[in-house]
Structure 1
Amino acid sequence: MRSLPFYPMMVLVLVGLGGYLGCDPNSIQLPLESVVTGARGTASSTTHYPASIPDRVANRLLIGSFNIQRLGPSKLGQPWVMEKLASVIQRFDVIALQEITSQDQTTVPQLLTYVNQGGGKYAYTISPQIGRNTYFEQYVFVYDTTRVQTGQEYSYVIQDEQDYLYREPFVGRFQTISNNPFTFRLINMHTSPSEISVELDVLADVYVNVRQYEYPEDDIILLGDLNAAPDRFQKLGTIPSVDPLIVDVPTNTRKNKTLDNILIDIQKTREFTGRAGTIDLEQMFSIDLDDTERISDHLPIWAEFSFTESTGAATAVAGALSNAFR
């Protein structure tokens, strides 16, 4: 494949975790689109925040993100906590998880045992351990296999050779199980709190790189723990028509900071229904703050989408891409 020009500040390489539609991700070099300067920090005017997450229904898709705060031996040894984490995951069709810190590779399968109690059919894709020095995490996508298709071979890690990112994002390719499937890409990210002044700018480059690489897919969804409110997104907040869906809504357990978010191109991802928000864990489980913090110091966030691809050109794209899962 012919090499394409790089953005001079950094180089991004897509590192695959398996065959990716016959391409060698290590050979792909991506150009960057220009990013317009001028922070927005506001959600679409059509975004509404219901008091609680809606139930899962046939014609709607619930996508979420949850920093589950150091999933490892301590939490695995607390069945009450694991049951609560499983209850949260069961509210979603697809959820991106951050802070899997255990080196034991049976950790996520043990979590899925709780999730699938009662006959659930959830599965997961997982990144390698990512980090620096002695601290590493894994990203995970958990999804309901009765409603969504993906696989480990359709996921990859983005690495920047200049090492601007403490934990490089994990990207997954998904589509709903439907005659007219909604196809989309999720970029799972957990920024480093001490390095967001650099990482949020680099994350803007990541978004446009993934969009270029995944073309003609138009539904690119960035989600995770960004450790910043939208008014502090810097370059990430300047990509034309790419908006945060969680604005002025606290996403930490103590409800005084907006740290987590879901970003979409509001003009292209017409499948977004206009509903997004957080899950209030205290309310969901009728527990106090101390018990809530046993689960996590973050709240799960969510956004709702149509289960089928929007009409128009995007439908033709969805039909072409659906063959990748057959």
Structure 2
Amino acid sequence: MPWYNDLRPQSDDKKIDYALIFPSLNNSDRKRIIKDVLDIRADLDEKIPSKNADSSLLLASWNIKEFGHLKERIPESYFYIAEVINRFDLVAIQEIKSGLDDLFIIMRLLGSNWSYTITDITEGTDGNKERFAYIFDKRKVKPSGLSGEIVLWDKLTKDSAIKQLKRSPAITGFIAGWKSFSLLNIHLQPGKGDASKEFRKEEVRLLMEAIKEKLKRQHFWNENLIMLGDTNLYKNDDDIVDIINKTDFREAENLIGKVTNVSETEVYDRIFLNVDKTFFHLVKDENGKEKGNVYKPFEVIYTEDKRKAYHNFMLAHKDDPSTLVSDETFEKYYHQYWKRNQISDHNPIWIEIKIDSTDEFLRSKLN
């Protein structure tokens, strides 16, 4: 469970020298945070399956906005992010920036059962100084040893204007229960215009060609591939999705068509699977449909009814606070900018993978 010493009453601080991450929190802050932590925990209990020891793995993907770059995150936002991550076993993170302070705070809040792997920064203007990370519960998941990037080569790109993806996809192997698999963490070219779409389409085409060639030559550590992340695919990008599907990937069925950005306009964040069809399955619900969904933190935290508690924070963070002159301007800034800079402008997505294949294995041997 996450680390809650910072949420003890201040009187407790004087009894024992507790290690505090946010020593400046007063009792009023702590009380507000505790109430919202309880709210988000109850919401997660209702909307996310319970973690279990043996039978399944909860896998999530989350673009956390400019993580390690934004300076206005207040202490409670880290608690809420940690609570969400803690409800899964393995989380692929996009848009971690050059600074790692935010990541280190989250890891302290998550506690000693958690670990992470992280890529180097993608340098240059196009790379946007971004990293990919995987945060995982060591009690359920262990890295396989595979860790690297998908890098394009000359023969593949000779007829293309693109020589490398702007943000090199991070591929990392994991083992959980019976299952060995590789996660391919991606953050594709953004933008709705024609030029951006054509660039994104070519990124996907080249990536799929690289994957096909590596599969053909058996150059992957494991051939169970899960591609996930912020694809920046728009509703009219079906032709790009077709390129992925033709490489034997399929989109997690319960996520198809579900909007994932906080504005609820686009299906940016996705999970595609290219896995053994006999032994690698997602857990299904009582209706026979694969489990998976979008989780929306702002349904319980930083809601409209709590907005006025953050007016002073907004005034401190706004470049020109004199523009916050009415309740209407506070409301607009709160929902369109401030709270998204606290958590993210993307919602996390998740699936549940079956990791115990005892029955399938025994039946196959019996047959």
Say which is worse superposed, 90-99 or 129-138, in terms of deviation. 129-138
Question: Which of 271, 276, 279 is the aligned partner of 2:281?
Answer: 271
CA contact (8 A) 2:64 2:346 kept: yes
SS of alignment partner, residue 108 of structure 1: helix
Deviations 1:287-310 (A, max 9, x none): 348265231110100010112246
Q: Verify: 1:220 aligned to 2:225, yes or no.
A: yes
Q: Verify: 1:240 aligned to 2:248, yes or no.
A: yes
The higher radius of gyration belongs to: 2
Say which is worse superposed, 138-147 or 107-116, in terms of deviation. 107-116
Q: Which residue of 2 aligns with 1:97?
A: 93
Q: Verify: 1:255 aligned to 2:264, yes or no.
A: yes
TM-score (normalizing by structure 1): 0.70
Q: Which residue of 1 aligns with 2:50?
A: 55
Aligned equivalents of 1:197 and 1:85: distance in 2? 32
SS of alignment partner, residue 272 of structure 2: strand
CA contact (8 A) 2:249 2:272 kept: no
Whose helix fraction is larger, Structure 1's or Structure 2's?
2
Q: What letter corresponds to residue 282 of structure 2 in structure 1?
A: F
Residue 282 of structure 1, CA deviation = 1.9
CA contact (8 A) 2:118 2:133 kept: yes
Q: Give the fraction of aligned pairs with identical amino acids, expressed as a percent.
A: 23
SS of alignment partner, residue 117 of structure 2: strand
SS of alignment partner, residue 222 of structure 1: strand
Aligned equivalents of 1:228 and 1:108: distance in 2? 27
SS of alignment partner, residue 298 of structure 2: helix
Q: What letter corresponds to residue 203 of structure 1 in structure 2?
A: L
In the alignment of these two chains, the number of paired residues is 258
TM-score (normalizing by structure 2): 0.63
Residue 98 of structure 1, CA deviation = 0.3
Aligned equivalents of 2:109 and 2:206: distance in 1? 36
Residue 82 of structure 1, CA deviation = 1.5
Q: What letter corresponds to residue 130 of structure 2 in structure 1?
A: E
SS of alignment partner, residue 202 of structure 2: helix
**In structure 2, do the counterparts of structure 1 residues 208 and 84 end up closer, same or farther at CA, with 3 Å as the change threshold?**
farther
Unaligned runs of 5+ in 1: 1-50, 317-326
CA contact (8 A) 1:187 1:222 kept: yes
Deviations 1:243-271 (A, max 9, x none): 34421111111111100101013635632
Q: Which residue of 2 aligns with 1:170?
A: 170
Say which is worse superposed, 122-131 or 160-169, in terms of deviation. 160-169
Q: Which residue of 2 aligns with 1:141?
A: 134
Q: What letter corresponds to residue 150 of structure 2 in structure 1?
A: I
SS of alignment partner, residue 292 of structure 2: strand
Q: Which residue of 2 aligns with 1:159?
A: 151
Aligned equivalents of 2:87 and 2:208: distance in 1? 29
Q: Which residue of 2 aligns with 1:67?
A: 63
SS of alignment partner, residue 150 of structure 2: strand
Superposed counterparts of 1:1-326, under 5 Å: 52-58=47-53, 59-75=55-71, 77-101=73-97, 103-116=98-111, 120-133=112-125, 135-150=128-143, 153-161=145-153, 162=157, 163-176=163-176, 178=177, 181-193=178-190, 194=196, 195-209=199-213, 211-212=215-216, 213=218, 217-229=222-234, 231=238, 232-240=240-248, 242-245=250-253, 246-265=255-274, 267=277, 270-273=280-283, 274-285=290-301, 287-288=303-304, 290=335, 292-293=339-340, 294-309=342-357, 311-312=360-361
RMSD: 2.9
CA contact (8 A) 2:107 2:115 kept: yes
Q: What letter corresponds to residue 259 of structure 1 in structure 2?
A: Y
Aligned equivalents of 1:73 and 1:114: distance in 2? 19
Higher relative contact order (CA 8 A, sep 6+): 1
Deviations 1:186-245 (A, max 9, x none): 000000113312112123224334545455734210100001147242412322353344
Unaligned runs of 5+ in 2: 1-45, 158-162, 191-195, 284-289, 305-333
Aligned equivalents of 1:224 and 1:75: distance in 2? 24
